[in-house]
Structure formats: structure tokens, C-alpha cells
A and B are shown apart, each in its own frame.
Chain A
Amino acid sequence: MTTMDHLAEQTKLERLLQVDEGSLGFVAEQEVQATRAFRQQLSEFYYQRHQDAFHRLAGLSKLLPISASAKLAMNLLGPVLAAGIACELPKDRAAKLAGRLPTDFLAKLSLYLEPSRAGAIIAAVDEDHIVEVARHLIAQQEFITLASFVTVISESTLRRIIQQVGNDGLSLLKVGFYVEEKTALNNVVTLLSEQQRRALFLAADEHSLWPAVLSLLPYLNDTLQGEMSNLAAEGEEQARDKLVRAVAQQGDWYPLLLSWTRMSQENLESSIRLPALHEEALLRECMAQLEKHNLQQALPNFTELLTEEQQALLA
């Protein structure tokens, strides 16, 4: 079964290989962990092929005044090489150099920066500068890059970037979708205002991205799972009905069922009585999935909450 994690990995590999989005569709059929490991090994392989050259260019850059190094990076090397060289510079020198580079160039450079190598440099760069770079990335819809930096920036920087995204639910969703270390989602979601959380759900509904939103739920802690599940359950019935149908079509029921275990009794009742779940095939599939994921115990009164009509369908 292809989940949203499979699709995220496919897109990240396509980005690394600089091919059109969607052109490597078969990659989504592979194990997520295997594709992730392959992408990381490939990224390291490409970097190591040129590490010596980056190191030499970094050596040259160190001989020049910072302003000349900045000119060298912008006018001759370009963002791809500048990103590699930055990783070979001492972090203070790299941070000073970043301070001399215009934010649009830094935004381009960040597309090629490997966060696992550049974490220390990013931490040394002025917060205002990072927020400004993020503004460019948001405008250019570079969500993979933005998401890759979530784990290496400070909480205060992250907070300011999230404020900049505002109530653009689709952008928030895409960042969450591409975050590499999913545990970092807890920090991101904690920093979202209620309005931003609602915007996330609205975007999921408008752009038929419910599976993408739901796929993030299992990575959140119990408290956030409860908050997000209850908030989603307070949405319009039509949207929630679409959610169930989207899940049934995609086949990955676990996040939806998990959300039911986290919400209030009242919200659970309204969620399982949606029109979609008054269709026999869908309801039966739902029951089978509850059993498959061993969630009956977490929802002990599930069948009692069903309407008479639903119970008759199952009889």
C-alpha cells in the first residue's frame, strides 16, 4: 500500500536527482525506510565525490576577505557549489559569509545544503537572516527544503517562521509532510495557533489532502493527537465525510482509527455516524480495519455508538 510517507520519499528522491516531480512513481512502491536510506547514501556519495574540491575551494575562500568570498560565491561559484563549500568552512567563517550574502542567494543555496552537515553553521547564522531566507523559501514553495531545516533551527526561529506562514494551511501541511525527523512534528504542531490548525484542515479538505494530514497524526504525542483529533471532529460534516471516503479510497485506515481513540466521546459519536459509514461496504471495511489494527479495545463501546441503521447493516 502506498502511504503519504512513500510519496514524500519519492518526491525527495526526485528532488535530489533533479528530475520532474512524479517521474519516478515506481519508487513509491518500495519500502519507505529503504528509499530513505538509498536517498541518504546517494546524497553522501555525491557530496564525497567533490568533498576534496569543496575543501580546496574553502581553503581559497579563507585566503580572501569575507566580501571577496561573498562575491566569489555569488558571481562565480553559484548556489550549488557554495553550499558544498560552506560545509567545509569553519562554522564562524561560514556564518559571517552567510551574513554577507543576499537572502535570495542564500535561499537558493539552502536548496542544496545538507542539514545533517550544515546544522552547526545554521545555528551560527543570525536569526533574522534565517527567517528572511525562510520567507523566500515559502514564497517559492520550497517546502522540502523548509522542512529539512525544522530539526536544525532553534525553537524561537521556528516560531517566527511559522508565524510568517500565517494561515496558509496548504504550506503548513506540506512542511509537515516533508519533515525528515517526524518526531519534530511535535514542536511544529505545538507552535501552531488554533487558527493555523483549522487552516490545515481546511486546506486538506479544499485540496483533497486528508490522507496527508492524517498520515502525520501517529507521529504526534498523545496530547497533540487528542487536540488535533477533536479539532478535526468539530469541522463540517461534509468535510469529515469526505475525509472518511478519502481514507477508504487510499486504504490507510490506521491514522483515522487512531484519531477516533483520541477524541472525546461526543466527537467519536458524530465521527462514526457520518453518511459514508452508513454504506455497508465502507462500514464493514472500517470494522475489519479496527480488528486488523487491534483497536477494538481502545474503542470498547464502538458498536453501541453506531446508529440502528448501521447496526442493521452489520447484522
Chain B
Amino acid sequence: MSSPIETLRQEGLPEQALAYLTALPEEQQQTLAQQVLSTMQKKDERVEKALSRALDVVPAPLRRTVRKMLFS
């Protein structure tokens, strides 16, 4: 399993932000990187849910078009 910092690098966290994290002492680095990652995952989930729920307010005949608009 990759470290939180490696995951954040793969997810596209800018180099400068990664440099801030890696300059911290090991334990602090892990704590902060883990927190940054956890917040990112929470935000991702929240947006995904909202996109799905947004379809609920769309009248049935338009739902297909809107689904395409939101998820294509």
C-alpha cells in the first residue's frame, strides 16, 4: 500500500505543497498527509453523492439528458 504522500502525489497535489509536507519531521509528515488525504476523500464522496442526488429534482422526461450532462 502506498504512503499518503505518494497517493497525494499521484492525485496531483502540486509539487510545492508536497515539498511542504516532506520537509516536516516524519511523524508530523504522516499525520498531516493522512489528514489532507482523508479530507480529499470526504470531499470526493460528497460531490459524487450530490451529482447523483441532483438527478432527483429533474423531471423524469429530462432525466436522461441531464444524466448525460452530469456524468458524460
- Please list the residues of chain A having a beta carbon within 8 angstroms of any beta carbon in chain B: 16-19, 24, 26-27, 30, 34-35, 37-38, 41-42, 45-46, 49-50, 53, 56-57, 59-60, 64, 68, 71-72, 75-78, 80-81, 84
From 42 to 71 in chain B, residues with beta carbon under 8 angstroms from any chain A beta carbon are: 42-44, 46-47, 50-51, 53-54, 56-58, 66, 69-70
Please, how many angstroms separate the alpha-carbon atoms of A191 and B3 in the complex? 50
Interface size class of B (residues with CB under 8 A): 20 to 34
Residue of B nearest to A37 (CB): B16
* A34 contacts across to B, CB distance below 8 A: 20
| 10 A-B pairs whose Cβ atoms sit less than 8 Å apart in the complex | A17-B35, A18-B39, A34-B20, A38-B16, A49-B40, A50-B43, A57-B51, A60-B58, A60-B66, A60-B70
Q: How far is the CB of A268 from chain B (nearest CB, A)?
A: 42
Q: How far is the CB of A72 from chain B (nearest CB, A)?
A: 5
Q: A45-B12, A81-B50 are in contact. Are A27 and B32 (CB under 8 A)?
A: yes
Please, how many angstroms separate the alpha-carbon atoms of A75 and B50 in the complex? 11
Q: How far is the CB of A222 from chain B (nearest CB, A)?
A: 35
Residue of B nearest to A84 (CB): B47
Residue of A nearest to B17 (CB): A41
B54 contacts which of A45, A77, A84 (Cβ < 8 Å)?
A: A77
